[in-house]
Amino acid sequence: DTGVSQNPRHKITKRGQNVTFRCDPISEHNRLYWYRQTLGQGPEFLTYFQNEAQLEKSRLLSDRFSAERPKGSFSTLEIQRTEQGDSAMYLCASSLLGESNQPQHFGDGTRLSIL
Amino acid sequence: AQSVAQPEDQVNVAEGNPLTVKCTYSVSGNPYLFWYVQYPNRGLQFLLKYITGDNLVKGSYGFEAEFNKSQTSFHLKKPSALVSDSALYFCAVRDRGYSTLTFGKGTMLLVSP
């Protein structure tokens, strides 16, 4: 069990640029979640996948945001035309479907800073 | 809808003393409840969960939590705090009819030597 891996750990970019983050879940986990965490707040749900299917999206996920999990393994989160308000920590988590009480295991996140 | 409240932004306790971090929740059905801990520049680390059964749940690192249905609370406790317990603690809830977690704003625990 190597844990959930997220890359890059930090991303600094200018407003208006596109960014893409990657998440590699724990290998046998079939559910994958994306969250956004801003300073002084708990993680806020963005979207989740079961295998390759995107099952739910939060209203926080504007049309500038897109997430994929093409083969049901790793996932990417892309933000187009970044804005100052996108600055946050983006967290990925994974869990095992089968028992509904399985906890989510989190990666260390990607911190995005918009200049 | 589901929500979580952590009424204290910060809890201060001396090493060796018992600690309590408070959490109350709101769900329409029966809850799954979780506690996570976050160290600086790290992701969240799972501590413990309540699903059903015993109201007192034991978790990692000597932490435990008490589920109280009538008060809709799930307070985190530890009998003897360590300086290394200093971190940000998050309570989370999932209504059994939902697939997603809702987190509280977090409580910073500071344990002084």
Interface contact B103, partner A, CB < 8 A: yes
Residue of chain B with shortest Cα separation from A88? B41
The whole-angstrom distance between residue A71's C-alpha and the CA centroid of its chain comes to: 16
Give B36-45 pLDDT, tens digit per residue: 999 988 899 9
- Residue ranges, chain B, pLDDT below 70: none
**Are B99 and A55 an interchain contact pair (Cβ–Cβ within 8 Å)?**
yes
Could you tell me which of A35, A15, A17 has the C-alpha nearest to residue A90? A35
Give A45-67 pLDDT, tens digit per residue: 999 999 999 999 998 889 999 99
Q: How far is residue A51's CA from residue A85's CA, in Å, rounded to a whole number?
A: 30
More confident residue, A97 or B87: B87
**Are A42 and B106 an interchain contact pair (Cβ–Cβ within 8 Å)?**
yes
